[in-house]
Amino acid sequence: MAKILVTGGTGYIGSHTVVELQKVGFDVVIVDNLSNSNIDVLVGIEKISGKAPAFENIDCVDYVSMDKMFEKHKDIDAIIHFAAFKAVGESVEKPLMYYRNNLVSLINMLQLMPIHKVKNLVFSSSCTVYGQPDELPVTENAPIKIAQSPYGNTKQIGEEIIRDTIHANSNYQSIILRYFNPIGAHSSAELGELPNGVPNNLLPFVTQTAIGLRKQLQVFGNDYNTPDGSCIRDYINVVDLAKAHVIAVQRMLNNKTKSNVETFNLGTGTGLSVLEIIETFENVNGVKIPFKIVPRREGDIEKVWANPTYANTELGWTAKETVEETLRSSWAWEQNLAKRAKAE
């Protein structure tokens, strides 16, 4: 069976993807320097899939170590490159840290691919490349807007680096996946999102408020031009998202791609407001989320949701899980974390 390198494989989306890859029989090598994840994630992966992936604690920015890694784990067929920093606010404070980490690691992958004869790359991009789209739902052909943050810029530049590199060497191919807002956890509650420190993103803040780790959720603005005044996003179940990576890898390995670089939106096609998410979370889980409306957060886009038709038709992939089930899984994961913390 083919062997897949998953960089950032102990991270949130990475770990769920490793499970789905192993489920269909792929051999997986994870490279992660644990800068924003925990080694225990490997236990969760093994519990669910019954198989421990190979693991290498390496920073992808370290070219020499990555070169050795490819020597050791010979015959890698494809890379899924998740490893990156992803906090928008932090990227504004520490731009060089973001440019260095996110871009040097990608350049290293692209340089090492021909040396080690790896032809296929899946790249984690983001709907952030669209900024505030002029038309909704947004398609892959929508214009790329000036990035709102260094983080967003690393995704835009990353896409360009891939296109230019593959244009110069057409033996290689890449599938660029533009994620909307991933939420939820594995249905077993053995894997989920595990942010370090105070969460930046909505869902981990909601669950940590529900469990009592945070006093109150802040809702950033209720004066947007949306039905209830709060921002709208396309929240996509993380396991659905993970499955799209398996399909992308299979598509490349089976020579089904239509061009050397393909780009897909991964979203549900439905936009939900922050207040709708809170209300649904409360209803499906029977818990209250104390919240208050505070001023808008700098850099937030008012509304964005995907047109996922291209992924639906070309990849044969559709987001299946309902938002209700997804929000249940987030809560089950948070409760499982609390149980574990108590037992320690």
Residues with a catalytic annotation lie at 151
- Taking the least distance from each CB to ligand UFG, the nearer of 4 and 88 is 88
Nearer to ligand UFG, 22 or 209 (CB): 209
**In the complex with ligand UFG, which residue's Cβ is closer, 76 or 311?**
311
User: In the complex with ligand UFG, which residue's Cβ is closer, 122 or 219?
Assistant: 219
Inter-residue contact 34 to 58 (CB < 8 Å):
no
Q: How far is the CB of 26 from ligand UFG (least distance, A)?
A: 25
CB of 79 to ligand UFG, least distance (A): 21
**Which positions lie near ligand UFG, rule CB under 6 A?**
86, 88, 126-128, 179-181, 200-202, 205, 217-220, 231, 233, 274, 297, 300
- Least distance (Å) between residue 210 CB and ligand UFG: 13
Residue 220 phi/psi, 5-degree rounding, is -80, 85
Nearer to ligand UFG, 233 or 251 (CB): 233
Query: What's the closest the beta carbon of residue 233 comes to ligand UFG, in angstroms?
Result: 5
Closest contact distance (angstroms) between CB of 129 and ligand UFG is: 9
**Three-state secondary structure of the chain:** CCEEEEECCCCHHHHHHHHHHHHCCCEEEEECCCCCCCCCHHHHHHHHHCCCCEEECCCCCCHHHHHHHHHHCCCCCEEEECCCCCCHHHHHHCHHHHHHHHHHHHHHHHHHHHHCCCCEEEEEEEHHHHCCCCCCCECCCCCCCCCCCHHHHHHHHHHHHHHHHHHHCCCCEEEEEEECEEECCCCCCCCCCCCCCCCCCHHHHHHHHHHCCCCCEEEECCCCCCCCCCCEECEEEHHHHHHHHHHHHHHHHCCCCCCCEEEEEECCCCCEEHHHHHHHHHHHHCCCCCEEEECCCCCCCCECCECCHHHHHHHCCCCCCCHHHHHHHHHHHHHHHHHHHHHC
Residue least distant from ligand UFG (Cβ)? 231
Q: Shortest Cβ distance from residue 241 to ligand UFG (Å)?
A: 11
Nearer to ligand UFG by Cβ, of 42 and 275: the residue is 275
